[in-house]
A and B are shown apart, each in its own frame.
Chain A
Amino acid sequence: MARRGGAPEVSAGSMADIAFLLLIFFLVTTTIETDAGLDRMLPPIEPPDTDVVIKEKNIFQVNINKSGQLLADDNLIDLKDLRAKAMDFLDNNGDKSCAYCKGKSNPDSSDNPDKAIISLKNDRETKYSTYITVQNELVGAYNDLRNRESMRLFKRPFVQLEADYLNPETDSDVKDELKEKVQRIQKLFPQKLSEAETSSSN
Chain B
Amino acid sequence: MSKFAKKKDGELPAVSTASLPDIVFMLLFFFMTVTVMKDSSLKVRNTLPVASEIKKLEKKDRVITIYVGAPDAQYEKMFGTEPKIQLNDKFSSPTDVGDYILMERAKKSQELQNVLTTSLKVDKDANMGIISDIKLELRKVNALKVNYTTGSGDAFNNLK
| A contacts, CB < 8 Å to B | 12, 15-16, 18-20, 22-23, 26-27, 29-45, 68, 79-80, 122-133, 135-137, 139-140, 143, 159, 162-163, 166-168, 195, 197-198
Contact = CB atoms under 8 A, between A and B. Distances in A.
Q: Which 10 A-B pairs have the closest CB atoms?
A: A124-B129, A30-B35, A37-B149, A129-B158, A19-B24, A129-B124, A15-B21, A198-B132, A136-B155, A35-B57
B148 A132 contact: yes
Contacts of B36: 30-31, 33
A135 B35 contact: no
Interface residues of B, number: 59
Nearest to B56: A36
A26 B29 CA distance: 10
Interface stretch (B73-81, B89-97, B136-144): B136-144
A131 B63 contact: no
B127 interface: yes
A38 B28 contact: no
Interface of B: 17-18, 20-21, 24-25, 27-28, 31-32, 34-38, 49, 51-60, 63, 117, 119-120, 122-129, 131-132, 135, 138-140, 142-152, 155-156, 158-159
Contacts of A132: 49, 51, 124, 148, 150, 155, 158
18 contacts: A19-B21, A32-B34, A36-B152, A37-B149, A38-B51, A38-B54, A38-B55, A39-B146, A40-B146, A42-B139, A124-B128, A125-B127, A128-B131, A130-B159, A132-B155, A133-B158, A135-B51, A167-B58
A143 B124 CA distance: 24
Contact of B38 (A15, A29, A136): A29
Contacts of B52: 136, 140
A70 to B, nearest CB: 11
Nearest to A135: B148
A124 B138 CA distance: 17
Contacts of B132: 122, 124, 197-198
Contacts of B148: 37-38, 40, 132, 135
Contacts of B37: 29-30
B53 A38 contact: yes
A101 B28 CA distance: 53
